[in-house]
Amino acid sequence: MNSDIQHRIVQLFKQWAGSEPATVIPIAGSGSPRKYFRLNDGSQTAIGVYHTDEAENRAFIEFSTHFRKHELAVPEIYAANLDHHIYLLQDLGDTSLFSLVEQANNSGELTEKVIDLYKRSLEQLVRFQVIAGKDLDYSFCYPRASFDKQSIFWDLNHFKYYFLKLTGINFDEQKLEDDFHTLTDYLLQADGQFFMYRDFQSRNIMILNNSPYFIDYQGGRKGALQYDLASLLFQAKAMLPFDVRDQLLYYYLDKLEDYIPVDHDKFIRFYHGYVLIRIIQVLGTYGYRGLYENKSHFIQSIPYALKNLEWLLANISLPVDLPELWRSLQQILRNEDQFAHSDDRRGLKVIVNSFSYKKGIPKDKSGHGGGYVFDCRALPNPGREEKYRFLSGMDEPVIEFLNAQPDVEKFLKSIYTIIDQTVETYLNRGFSNLMVSFGCTGGQHRSVFCAEKLMQHLIDKFSIDVSLKHQEEENWVRK
């Protein structure tokens, strides 16, 4: 079946590009059943998508066309064959805002560059919601045209059955149901005549040429402004400092006032309610994907969502009474220890090195020995060209050069497969250390590039402690 899907996508690429792709690389998805492929013919690249949900495909394509009409930064749709459930879209690269936040969290410092990308994303969010939402054809929305009572109850019941029940939280069914109705009625008092992206979070914001681009809006519908803001600022694993969240909240309100009048106090009261429903929605998803389907990535994310919940219960008072829901949420926090094992940062540390074979392979100082050493010397060497000689694998011209090499892409894909399998096994067996090293002739270009790529891949995929060391950095050839 997969070979048939890939064949159809290759044919669609040939029709669009006029040539056969030299490489077709499957791309790992997240929680979605969609299948992704990166196709490249040497001069043109595209992302091929296969998904059997016709309504969702149609929503994505129609929304993309509409948003591009309003000059929003969404991928261009190059070609589509919806009878075969496939389409091609613009390749926005592999760097998401989330990956930059993860790197910042690992270094212990959220840089102004990352905060600026958040601000620019919020500027675009206002335009999605207020400008593009005005003349959007909401008949294409999937599965509902608005974030209405039914939509909210789907999220609440998902949370009840896939989180509360699966974690053994005791609650009074009728009283909780009454609170669900109370919360829903309150949330629907907010103005819901705007476009609601539905999953506006940093994994769905790609960074290309230092600018944010937006994906995965096919679940959008009409709804309140506050939901998307809560989704971004309270994304569990992004772990934004709470003072930064406040800074971004007021930045968003300032930008919103460029388009519509805003009562700040009223907006923020509803905003806190939408923070609550978003946290509940996330816990329901983590419960279903993690506790029910036993997918470790989602189980590992639960402690991060609970930190948001802890802050909410300690700092927010809603203008409606939700005693049974509040009691259930407090029980979750009292039982938080059952999720402690989920936080992989306490269990596994991966050390990634780049090095020069002239100086020798780095030694494992953890005392565990072993690990992996990958030889990058068979890859195309940018260091042989004068224009790259004084740069490193961290500089954009070198990155662009190596990203364009099919052999490099194949090399890294094979490494990702090996390392992912090892990390998952180490996590399951409780191992604490893994070292992965990349060597090349001078330890400046190819090995550095590959080490950086693996670090980003691991940060994107796992909640583990990843550290990076370029052994030859002090000796790099500079002008």
* DSSP track, 138-207: GGG-SS-SB--HHHHHHHHHHHIIIIITTTT----HHHHHHHHHHHHHHHTTS---EEE-S--SGGGEEE
Residues 338 and 350 occupy one common structural domain? no
State the number of CA atoms in the 13 A half-sphere of 437 facing the CB.
Answer: 19
Q: What average pLDDT score do residues 227-251 get? A: 96
Residue 96 DSSP symbol? B
Residues 130 and 78 occupy one common structural domain? no
Residues 289 and 315 occupy one common structural domain? yes
pLDDT over threshold 60, residue 342: no
Q: Predicted confidence band at 121 (pLDDT cuts at 50, 70, 90)?
A: very high
- The pLDDT tens digits for 400-427 are 999 999 999 999 999 999 999 999 888 8
Distance between start and end Cα atoms, the chain: 53
**Overall pTM > 0.85:** no
Closest CA to 166 of 291, 327, 342, 283: 291
* CA distances from residue 135 to 64, 194, 197, 255 in whole angstroms, order as listed: 14, 10, 15, 20
Residues 316 and 258 occupy one common structural domain? yes
How many CB atoms are closer than 10 A to CB 386? 7
Residue 263 burial (C-beta neighbours within 10 Å; 0-12, 13-18, 19+): exposed
Residue 110 makes CB contacts below 8 A (sequence gap 6+) with: 101, 104, 240, 241, 244
- The pLDDT tens digits for 379-404 are 999 989 999 989 999 988 999 999 99
Residues 322 and 200 occupy one common structural domain? yes
Q: What average pLDDT score do residues 43-47 get? A: 96
How many CB atoms are closer than 10 A to CB 358? 12
Closest CA to 273 of 190, 338, 355: 190
pLDDT on residue 467? 86
The SS3 of residue 282 is: helix
Cα distance between residue 335 and residue 341, in whole Å: 13
- The pLDDT tens digits for 70-91 are 999 999 999 999 999 999 999 9
Residues 356 and 318 occupy one common structural domain? no
Count of structural domains within the chain: 3
Residues 289 and 403 occupy one common structural domain? no
Cα distance between residue 256 and residue 7, in whole Å: 46
Which of 326, 342, 358 is where one domain is finished? Answer: 342
For 174-191, give one letter per residue: b (16+ CB within 10 A) or e: eebbbbbebbbebbeebe
- The pairing of strands 23-27 and 35-40 is antiparallel
Cα distance between residue 202 and residue 233, in whole Å: 9
The H or E element that residue 469 is part of is strand 465-470
For 453-479, give one letter per residue: b (16+ CB within 10 A) or e: bbbbbbbbbbbbbbebebbbeeebeee
pLDDT on residue 346? 44
Cα distance between residue 183 and residue 176, in whole Å: 10
Residues 30 and 159 occupy one common structural domain? no
pLDDT on residue 337? 67
- The pLDDT tens digits for 26-43 are 887 666 688 999 999 999
Which of 69, 90, 111 is where one domain is finished? Answer: 90
Q: Predicted confidence band at 280 (pLDDT cuts at 50, 70, 90)?
A: very high
Q: Predicted confidence band at 301 (pLDDT cuts at 50, 70, 90)?
A: confident
Give me 270's structure tokens.
């509803």
Range of the domain at 123: 97-342
Cβ–Cβ under 8 Å, residues 271 and 230 = yes
Q: Predicted confidence band at 340 (pLDDT cuts at 50, 70, 90)?
A: low
Cβ–Cβ under 8 Å, residues 275 and 316 = yes
Give me 303's structure tokens.
């402690």
Residues 231 and 112 occupy one common structural domain? yes
DSSP string, 110-129: --HHHHHHHHHHHHHHHIII
Cβ–Cβ under 8 Å, residues 193 and 205 = no
Residues 72 and 102 occupy one common structural domain? no
Cα distance between residue 297 and residue 280, in whole Å: 18
Residues 377 and 446 occupy one common structural domain? yes
- What CATH number has the domain bearing residue 292? 3.90.1200.10
Q: Predicted confidence band at 347 (pLDDT cuts at 50, 70, 90)?
A: low
Write the single-letter amino acid at 157: N
Which of 74, 90, 106 is where one domain is finished? Answer: 90
- What CATH number has the domain bearing residue 44? 3.30.200.20
Residues 48 and 131 occupy one common structural domain? no
Closest CA to 43 of 311, 406, 300, 362: 406
